[in-house]
Each structure stands twice: as C-alpha cells, then as structure tokens.
Amino acid sequence: MIFKNISKKIYLYHPNAIVFWLLFFGLYFPVISFVFVSIILIIYIFWPFQSYDIQTTDITSNKVVLISHGLKDDTATWVTTLKKQLLTNGGDVQVIAIDWSRYADNALTCSVNGRRIGHDMANILLKNSQLIDIQLIGHSCGAFVNYGICEVLKEHQNDINVNSIYLAPVSVYGGMFWEFGLDNFGACANESITYFDTEDRVPGSNRAPIHSTGIDVTDYKQQFGFDGAPHQWPIYYFLAINE
C-alpha cells in the first residue's frame, strides 16, 4: 500500500510513462531501497534490548581482573591460559574470565552486545563495596566489554582505579560507527594500554585509540616464532610477557 501510494505521487509529477519509470528505477527506487535497508539494519543491530545470561562467580576481592574474549571466540582458548598466569603472578587478586561467546558470534552485533554486557558486569561489580582496583583485558570485540564496564563504574564510583588493556581492539560500533573505538577506548580509564600489530586488517585494530598508550608489537613476531594472523598476535605477545 505504501509503495503504491508513493508510485502514484511520483506519477502525478511525471505523467509521461517512460520518464516516470526511468526516474523511478534510476533515482527514486535506489533511494527508497537504501533508506529501507538502513532502517532494517539499525533495528537488527540495536533492537531488541535483550537480557544477557552471563555466568560469573561472586566478586568479593578488592582487586579484580576481568578478561573478555573477542568475536567467535570463547574462554577455552587463550583466556584460560592468561587466567592461570595472572593467578600465579598476581598475588591477592580475583581473576574472572567472561564467557559471552553466545553473544559474540556476529560481527554486526558483537560490539553492541559487548558494551551492554559490560554495563551489566559493572553493575555486578558495584555490589562489591570492597572494590578499589580493576584491570580490564579485552581482545578484538571484547574491547567493547572493557569500555562498557569502565563507563558505568566511573559514572557511579569514580574512585575505583580502572586499568584498561586492549589487545587488537575492534573500532567499529554497531556496524556503522567506524571510528568509535579509536575515539573512545581508554577515555574513562585511569590508565589504558593498547597492544597492536600494524599489519592487522581488522578495522581500527592496527593502531592505538587516542586515549590509550600504544605498544606496537609488529616487529616481535619473528623473535617469538609467531606465524599466525596479525589480529591474534597481540594476544600471544601479552601471554609471552606475562609468563
């Protein structure tokens, strides 16, 4: 019905049939299609505001480390190794690996899901009145979990010290805001460090955000004998320096 009404209105301005169809398919139809597809994408990426079922242990320590994996990943890979390293080296600290794999399986939605999960995790953390120091470690799309946690913590409890570590962070938010991560990651943290590989082709992952200190690990691959994907290298560099 809507399509029919639009066609009638266009035809009133262009009564010549040939001119009408040329204009419709050459000009009007692409514009209408673009607007329609854009609306559908926005709805798909940002709506509905689903509830997230993230399992975690009780957070009771005054010093906490939270590790967030990236797109199409889970806690059974490098996250488990890093958690063991940090528990061995970190002393009196609670290390938590966030398994949000069921919400991190889609490149279009993982950033939005990650940020919202970060908000939920921050609200859980705020229930711990003993918390004074937190380190956030996020790879790829897990960077948005870092950012979401930091946003809410600093909004409600600014005296908590937040150290945010990004490993090849993805910059694109919601599939359309390409510079979001580069402009915002690290902005709310007391300290932020980004490990990156300049050969990484994932958008925004090959340089540091403007609010984060950058550590370029590109030239260390040969030294450590790494021959995998550049997007994964910052993970293994970070594991190596924490052994």
34-48, 60-74, 213-227 — which is least confidently predicted? 34-48
Q: 234 to each of 109, 140, 171, how far by Cα in Å?
A: 23, 10, 16
In what order do the strands lie in the sheet containing 213-216? Answer: 94-98, 63-68, 133-139, 161-167, 191-196, 213-216
35-49, 61-75, 80-94 — which is least confidently predicted? 35-49
- What mean pLDDT comes out for the span 76-85? 95
Within the chain, how many helices (H) and strands (E) appear?
A: 9, 6
pLDDT band at 230 (very low <50, low <70, confident <90, very high): very high
According to CATH, the superfamily of the domain at 63-241 is: Alpha/Beta hydrolase fold, catalytic domain (3.40.50.1820)
Question: What's the whole-number average pLDDT of the chain?
Answer: 87
Q: Which run of H or E residues covers position 15? A: none
Q: What is the pLDDT of residue 139?
A: 99
Length of the chain: 243
Q: What is the pLDDT of residue 43?
A: 58
Q: Is the pLDDT of residue 123 over 60?
A: yes
Calculate Rg over the CA atoms of the chain: 23
Whole-number percent of the chain with pLDDT over 90? 72
Domain ranges of the chain: 2-46, 63-241
* Amino acid code (one letter) for 64: V
Q: For the chain, where are the E strands, in sequence order?
A: 63-68, 94-98, 133-139, 161-167, 191-196, 213-216
Whole-number percent of the chain with pLDDT over 70? 79
Q: What is the pLDDT of residue 3?
A: 47
Q: How far apart are CA 9 and CA 73, in angstroms?
A: 51
What pLDDT digit, counting tens, does each position of 178-227 carry? 999 999 999 999 999 999 999 999 999 999 999 999 999 999 999 999 99
Q: How far apart are CA 85 and CA 95, in angstroms?
A: 10
Looking at mean pLDDT, say which of 4-13, 87-96, 164-173 comes out highest: 164-173
What's the pTM value of the predicted model, to 2 decimals? Answer: 0.83
What pLDDT digit, counting tens, does each position of 87-111 carry? 988 778 999 999 999 999 999 999 9
Q: Is the pLDDT of residue 166 over 80?
A: yes
Q: Are 210 and 221 in contact (CB under 8 A)?
A: no
Specify the pairing of strand 94-98 against strand 63-68: parallel
Q: Is the pLDDT of residue 23 over 70?
A: no
